[in-house]
Each structure stands twice: as structure tokens, then as C-alpha cells.
Amino acid sequence: MRAVIQRVSEASCTVNQQVVGAVGQGFVVLLGIEEADGIDDVRWLAQKVVNLRVFGDEAGMMNKSLHDVQGNILLISQFTLLAQTKKGNRPSFIRAAKPDQAIPLYELMIGELSGHLGKSVATGIFGADMKISLVNDGPVTIVMDTKDRDNH
């Protein structure tokens, strides 16, 4: 499971010219789910995301978490994070989980993040053609992969 976490001052997701999810200060989390992923990956990643201390404290140091700043999350499914680009110029997405496996894990991630935050998480629509608008604050962008959890 791979996530790109962007610290934002605001963000929204639009589908068919309708805003389906929006947040103020917090994170946009782009989430790629691969065939090898499971419940343990969701649980580990959710707690890591919610507890990331990348918001400024009184001294301007990145020392505060989402809880500390009452931040929110906009979670977007994005299978293209699992692109393999070793051969040729057309990416392969063979490792990306199919919807029947990915949707339950995506929904579990929504529940885990919501549970850790103590409030609902904004989302896009799984599999839809989404337009994401955001103001990356900092900019701060962090990439996490559950396959590398021993290195975190």
C-alpha cells in the first residue's frame, strides 16, 4: 500500500462538476492499493498518517499532528501510484489491486482514519474520474509504503 501525503491549507475533490469531498487544513492522502495488501497494511498506515507531526508549532518547527491542529483528511484512491515504469514508456499497473479487493481495503482505511481522528474523513469516489484541487502548504509532501515499514 502506497500513500502520498500532502499537507494542505485546503483541498477538494470534484466529480462531474460536483464537489464530493473538501477539507481545510490537513492532509490530502492519495492511496494506492496493491494485490499483496491486507488489513495489517491499512491499520499500520492509518496510524502513521494520523500521527505524522508535520504541522508547525509555536517555534515554527514541524512538531504537531492532525490532532494538535484539528486537521482533516481528504482520502483519494489512486491506483496509478503503483505504476511500474521499468520497461518502455507506458506504465504497467499489474500490481494494483482489482476493485473487488481494493474497495473493501479503501473503505477500511476510511474507517481507520476516521476512528483515529475521531471525526469523518472526506473522500473522493472510488474509480471515478476525479479532479483534485489543493493548496500544498509548505510544500510538505511525504511518500509512505507499507512494504518499507521496517525503514520508517
**Alpha-carbon dihedral angle through residues 120, 150, 78, 117, given to the nearest 10 degrees:** 10
User: From the candidates 27, 79, 123, 146, which is the catalytic residue?
Assistant: 79
Cα distance between the two ends of the chain:
14
Task: Give the pLDDT of residue 69.
Answer: 97
Domains and CATH numbers, the chain: 2-146 (3.50.80.10)
pTM of the full structure = 0.94
User: From the candidates 27, 55, 78, 123, which is the catalytic residue?
Assistant: 78
The per-residue DSSP string of 48-83 comes to HHHH---EE-TTS-EEE-HHHHT-EEEEEE-GGGG-
Q: Would you say residue 151 has pLDDT above 90?
A: no
Residue pLDDT, tens place only, 74-103: 999 999 999 988 888 988 898 999 999 999
User: From the candidates 70, 80, 84, 141, which is the catalytic residue?
Assistant: 80
73, 23 contact by CB (below 8 A): yes
30, β-bridge pairs: 4, 76
Q: Would you say residue 4 has pLDDT above 60?
A: yes
Whether 84 is a known active-site residue: answer no
Whether 27 is a known active-site residue: answer no
Task: Give the pLDDT of residue 140.
Answer: 96
The residue-averaged pLDDT of 130-146 equals 96
Whether 80 is a known active-site residue: answer yes
